[in-house]
Amino acid sequence: MHQLRRNRRLRTTESIRSLVREHTITPNDFLVPLFVVEGKNVKQEIASMPGYYRYSLDLLKIEVNELWTMGLKAVLLFVKVPDDLKDNKGTEALNPDGLMQRAIKTVKDVAPEMLVMTDVALDPYSSYGHDGIVEDGYIVNDPTCEVLAEMSLSHAQAGADFVAPSDMMDGRIMAIRELLEEENYKNTGIMSYSAKYASAFYGPFRDALDSAPGFGDKKTYQMDFANRDEAVKETLMDIEEGADIVMVKPGLAYLDIVRDVRDAVDVPVAVYQVSGEYAMLKAAAEKGWLDHDAIMMEQIIAFKRAGAHIIASYFAKDVVKLL
Ligand code: PBG
């Protein structure tokens, strides 16, 4: 008997494998998260994220230049806010001369065509470390949406191309879109963290920004990780409210959600490979237990295979160096 179909024929050499490969990675796939701090000449390694740093604005310039030269053309900005500027309402988030606003201008100064996205949520500004305003121990929804809209406007005024609300309040996309339209920022985009789960994978990020919740957890606004169908509901609502790009977060443990969302929507889908995912691989590689580069590439391809168009990743530079 002869076998008529032999799947291994398409795997015999690298040339045929690359010819039939379904997914590839290019620098265009990435959004690079950047952590910014006050000060001069500061490049601090984040303890739980080896090889990843917080930059003061002067050194941010050098980093942004390097990214641009490597073909990495989109950044996602986060700021570490000094403790004495934190309060319950995130007042500092609206300061036109605040760290985020200056960071946006700094990036645009060095690389005018770099796409600048900004994190919109109160946690780095909140004395409680929560994404919204706290009243009687509860994170109140509608007043938070108003601040998030003001914050988004302030980022747009400073020159941000996209705002990226990561807070999971109900109706915040609508609040942000309406204010941006009203104020004539019609081309400022919104990348919504539309399916964001309450996850322990964010631990190292909260070290990076000193933004861990001071009481309780984020389970009254971020999603329950036992839920799947709800991710599609959340995402479709954000699109109705005006989101241009939607996002699933975290990444690797949520590839089922990435695929569900991709199949359900007609806008670009982003995935966030979060800080804990980065830390896990770095730790295992440090111990010599896993091959860092091989695992990194396998994970990045997994996001594309699952259906993501855009990958926010702390590995972006490492990956591009290997391409
Ligand atoms: C802020 C925010 C968080 C992350 C992105 N934006 C933390 C959180 O929600 O607690 C996590 C990113 C990461 O872990 O890499 N709302």
What average pLDDT does this structure show over 28-46?
98
E strand map for 239-285: 245-249, 269-273
Question: Measuring from atom 14 of ligand 1, which residue has the nearest CA?
Answer: 202
Residue that has been written with the tokens 């990076």 in this structure: 208
Ligand 1 centroid to 2 CA: how many Å? 56
> What does the alpha-carbon distance between residue 273 and residue 315 come to, in Å, rounded to a whole number?
9
Nearest residue (CA) to ligand 1, atom 16 = 166
**Is residue 1 very low, low, confident or very high in pLDDT (cuts 50, 70, 90)?**
confident
CB 182 within 8 A of CB 149: no
Q: Is any ligand 1 atom within 6 A of the Cβ of residue 131?
A: yes
Residues 180, 242 contacting (CB under 8 angstroms) = no
Question: Which of 166, 168, 207 is the pocket-test mutation for ligand 1 (most atoms within 8 Å of CB)?
Answer: 166
**Angle of the 255-264 helix axis to the 292-306 helix axis, nearest 10:** 30
Classify strands 49-56 and 74-79 as parallel, antiparallel or unpaired: unpaired
- Is there a catalytic annotation at residue 218? no
Which pair of tokens denotes residue 14?
């690298």
Instruction: Tell how far CA 29 is from the center of its chain.
Output: 13
CA–centroid distance, 46 to ligand 1, in Å, is: 15
Q: What is the pLDDT of residue 210?
A: 86
Closest residue by Cα to residue 134 from 73, 206, 218, 60: 218
Given a contact cutoff of 8 angstroms between Cβ atoms, the answer to whether 265 and 236 are in contact is: yes
Q: Is residue 122 lining ligand 1, measured as CB closer than 6 Å?
A: no
Q: For the chain, how big is the Rg over CA atoms in Å?
A: 20
pLDDT at 296 over 90: yes
C-alpha of 106 from chain center: 20
Ligand 1 pocket check for 193: Cβ under 6 Å: no
Percent share of the chain, pLDDT over 70? 100
Cβ of residue 202 lying under 6 Å from some atom of ligand 1: yes
**Distances 36 to 64, 103, 148, 223 between C-alpha atoms, Å:** 12, 7, 20, 27
CB 97: neighbour CB atoms within 10 A? 8
CA 202 – CA 182 distance, rounded (Å): 34
* pLDDT tens-digit series, residues 167-225: 999 999 999 999 999 999 999 999 999 999 999 999 999 989 988 999 999 999 999 99
CA of 76 to the centre of ligand 1 (A): 12
3-state secondary structure of 143: helix
**Ligand 1 centroid from CA 205, angstroms:** 6
- Tokens standing for 263? 């199949």
What is the distance between the alpha carbons of residues 215 and 293, in angstroms, rounded to a whole number? Answer: 38
Ligand 1 within 6 A of 313 CB?
no
Tokens of 261: 């969302």
Q: Which is nearest to 159 in space by CA: 215, 112, 110, 201?
A: 112
The structure tokens 């109900």 sit at 170
Q: Is the pLDDT of residue 17 over 90?
A: yes
The answer to whether 196 is a known catalytic residue is yes
Inter-residue contact 141 to 148 (CB < 8 Å): no
pLDDT in tens, 83-111: 999 999 999 999 999 999 999 999 999 99
3-state secondary structure of 276: helix
What SS3 class is residue 312? strand
* Ligand 1 atom closest to 276 (CA): 14
The span from the CA of 279 to the CA of 273, in Å, is: 11
Q: What end-to-end distance do the CA atoms of the chain give, in Å?
A: 43
Q: Considering only CA atoms, which residue is closest to atom 6 of ligand 1?
A: 166
**Directed axis angle between helix 275-286 and helix 292-306, to 10°?**
150
Using a 6 Å cutoff on CB, does residue 166 contact ligand 1?
yes
299 in ligand 1 pocket by Cβ < 6 Å?
no
Instruction: Kindly report the average pLDDT of the chain as a whole number.
Output: 97
The active-site residue, picked from 196, 218, 304, 317, is: 196
- pLDDT of residue 246 exceeding 90: yes
List pLDDT tens digits, range 123-162.
999 999 999 999 999 999 999 999 999 999 999 999 999 9
Closest CA to 247 of 162, 313, 311, 160: 311
pLDDT for residue 186: 98
